Copies of this chain bind each other. A is one copy, B any other.
Amino acid sequence: MKRSERLVAMTNYLIENPMKLASLPYFSSEYDAAKSSISEDLAIVNKTFQQQGIGYLKSISGAAGGVKYIPEYSIENSEEFIGGLCEKMEDPSRLLPGGYLFMSDLLGEPAIVRDIGRLFASKFSELEIDVVVTVATKGIPLAYAVASFLNVPVVIVRRDPKVTEGSTVSINYVSGSSRKIQTMVLPKRSLQEGAKVCIIDDFMKAGGTINGIKDLLKEFNAEVKAIGVMAEAEDEEEDRVVDQYISLVQISNVDIKNSQIQVNQGNILNEQS
């Protein structure tokens, strides 16, 4: 295979397999090229990925060495994306009775969802996450997007057990904002003991749901390494029961009377995680 074709094939391979160690001999045999040529190719890919602000190739030396594509969204790309998201969310036609916001259209766009996943994964790539956990329903696409960049599985907490999930572990928890008692379940075989997890959800008010997930995860002795939410409600800050989390945007001043919503950048770009 010629260098030009190798570059296309390798770029595709690396993008489709983030966080996965690929050895030089693998590329060498796959594309029938000398290891020295493959090394040069990888240097070009690495340089271009960094220029494009989509991450870099990490070299792991030694006998079991190779390269890993680490997705890392640049600050400029991240700011541009979050700015666009704030603007879309400030659209007054999103206002629903009770001050809720309609967001299903945004969460229905695979390109937006993928970029959200890329942002969280950039932030969490050093944490050695084993699994992404979310709760049905709205968090699911975001969780898969994060997981696809971290190259780990997704586990979905449900509010109702299903026959297709086998034996389950369940807990009761108190919803932060409505103070209602609710249930959450997770199939027994879905999580290894001591797994390192990140929790992803679309929206956080007081944080009762996230806290419920944390309680459920304790039953599996899982270690919560990170929490990421797309949007947080700013006016709930006082009652918040979750303190360590990353948010993309912060919704404040939902003014139903004047049909105005104010959405600001969340803490993702100022947190040092």
Contact = CB atoms under 8 A, between A and B. Distances in A.
Interface of A: 3-5, 7-9, 11-12, 15-17, 44-45, 47-49, 51-52, 54, 96-98, 100-105, 108-111, 113-114, 136-138, 140-141, 144-145, 147-148, 151-156, 158, 163-166, 187, 189-190
Interface of chain A, main secondary structure: helix
B163 A5 contact: no
Nearest to A8: B48
B144 A156 contact: no
A135 B15 CA distance: 29
Contacts of A105: 153, 189-190
18 contacts: A4-B44, A7-B7, A8-B8, A12-B48, A16-B114, A17-B111, A96-B164, A100-B163, A102-B164, A102-B165, A102-B166, A102-B187, A104-B156, A104-B165, A104-B190, A105-B189, A108-B156, A136-B137
Given A4-B4, A11-B11, A12-B48, 17 more contacts: A5-B44, A8-B49, A12-B52, A96-B165, A97-B163, A100-B163, A101-B164, A102-B187, A102-B189, A108-B153, A110-B148, A110-B152, A137-B137, A137-B140, A137-B156, A141-B141, A144-B145
Contacts of A158: 137
B9 A52 contact: yes
A110 B144 contact: yes
A11 B16 CA distance: 12
Contacts of A113: 144
Given A153-B110, A158-B137, A164 B103 contact: yes
A187 B49 CA distance: 40
A170 to B, nearest CB: 16
A49 B96 CA distance: 46
Contacts of A3: 4
B154 A47 contact: no
A5 B104 CA distance: 38
A214 to B, nearest CB: 20
Contacts of A16: 15, 114
Contact of A108 (B5, B11, B101, B154): B154
